[in-house]
């Protein structure tokens, strides 16, 4: 496997992409093209730059303040196999994993067996913020999401219970 992932950028310490101090990887590539997207430069599959995944994971060890990692974008599911590789290693560091995606949880479940890496990536995510950004559904005070249609889902509980389990934030 190629040990590079295409990233649009990294936020090394974030308090707004999930609870606690987090490292945020903005993956490159998104097919949703949501009007009003805050990261439109991440849409092209050819933008950004290749980064060595092992070096990114090693770098996480240098910040004891980190409580988790967030995959954002772009859409991380466009590079699910690469995100899976990273998520499996990140789990060994005892950091929780959040992921933002324009796909719904249900779309991911429907496609998990025919899209490369989707099942494995989903199995390594703690919290999924799902659904496209809808500018008309922006609301003041929404925590950890851009529009009211997006859900904050406890992935592991949802998988074990066989239904969507939303988290209250």
Band the pLDDT of 69: cuts 50, 70, 90.
Answer: very high
- 82/87 Cα distance (integer angstroms): 9
Instruction: Kindly report, residue by residue over 94-153, the tens digit of the pLDDT.
Output: 999 999 999 999 999 999 999 999 999 999 999 999 999 999 999 888 999 999 999 999
Instruction: Kindly report, residue by residue over 39-62, the tens digit of the pLDDT.
Output: 889 999 999 999 999 999 999 998
Q: Which residues of 100-130 are buried (b: 16+ CB within 10 A; e: fewer)?
A: bbbbbbebbbeebeebebbbbbbebbbbbbb
Model pTM greater than 0.75?
A: yes
Domains of the chain: 4-161 (3.20.20.70)
């Amino acid at each position: 496997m190629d040990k590079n992932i295409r990233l649009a950028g990294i936020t090394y310490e974030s308090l707004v992409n999930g609870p606690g101090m987090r490292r945020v990887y903005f993956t490159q590539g998104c097919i949703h093209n949501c009007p009003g997207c805050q990261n439109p430069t991440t849409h092209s599959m050819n933008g950004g730059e290749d980064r060595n995944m092992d070096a990114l994971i090693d770098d996480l060890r240098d910040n004891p303040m980190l409580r988790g990692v967030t995959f954002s974008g772009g859409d991380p599911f466009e590079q699910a196999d690469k995100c899976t590789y990273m998520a499996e290693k990140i789990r060994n560091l005892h950091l929780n994993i959040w992921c933002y995606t324009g796909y719904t949880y249900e779309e991911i479940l429907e496609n998990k067996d025919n899209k490369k890496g989707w099942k494995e990536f989903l199995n390594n995510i703690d919290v999924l913020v799902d659904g496209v950004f809808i500018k008309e559904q922006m609301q003041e005070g929404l925590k950890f999401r851009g529009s009211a249609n997006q859900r904050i889902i406890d992935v592991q509980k949802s998988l074990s219970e066989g239904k969507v389990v939303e988290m209250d934030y």
